[in-house]
Chains A and B, each alone.
Chain A
């Protein structure tokens, strides 16, 4: 069974631009979560989607948004990029059967975003 895939793996943008990252979950998984990893702030939870609906949300500004499609693939969008948005963005998928979101998550390799 293929693992979680994230595209692109590397991305360079300039301040003020917007970016869309993509995540394809493991087949059969219905939940997709997104995380940001930076040297300064560490690992932070962005949001979780289940059946095309945002189920849980971390503490990030509205510039960070996401969506999930009917095939469970998810995209994350960051608008008006800032230098501080440079990070590794990780996606994780799970079966999603638990309403509390505590199923085991399987992570992708991440997308490395650099904002210049």
Chain B
């Protein structure tokens, strides 16, 4: 079964600084990877997904992630964060040709002014 590890439970950062949220998955022949954001008292919103093709994936709100097969990682990055990026971020993975996702435990991004 697929497993997903988000290495940081909390990441504090100052506004306009760059940020990287780390995600590692267990190896699989074919894997699909996702990053979601959850704002307080709301559902999830898809930031970006990797299904195949280019290893650099660009998403909404200025976020991007890079699929690294050799390191089984899919880290999320943003060059300059805003206060409004404060939220919980979830990495998810699915394999075997169908969408049965396994989620990481989440990383709380806290952006300070």
Contact = CB atoms under 8 A, between A and B. Distances in A.
Contact of B99 (A101, A106, A107, A108): A101
Given A42-B106, A43-B90, A102-B32, A48 B42 contact: no
Contacts of A95: none
Contact of B98 (A92, A101, A107, A109): A101
A109 B43 contact: yes
Contact of A102 (B43, B44, B51): B51
A100 B98 contact: yes
A108 B103 contact: no
Contacts, number: 50
A105 B44 CA distance: 9
A44 B43 contact: no
Contacts of A33: 99
A4 interface: yes
Interface string B23-42: 00000000010000000011
Listed residue (B41, B100, B102) with the most chain A CB atoms within 10 angstroms of its CB? B100
Contacts of A106: 46
Contacts of B90: 43
B105 interface: yes
Contact of B43 (A42, A55, A90): A90
B93 to A, nearest CB: 11
A49 B102 CA distance: 18
Interface string A64-79: 0000000000000000
Interface of A: 4, 33, 42-45, 48, 55-58, 90, 92, 100-102, 104-110
Interface of B: 32, 41-46, 49, 51, 90, 92, 94, 97-106
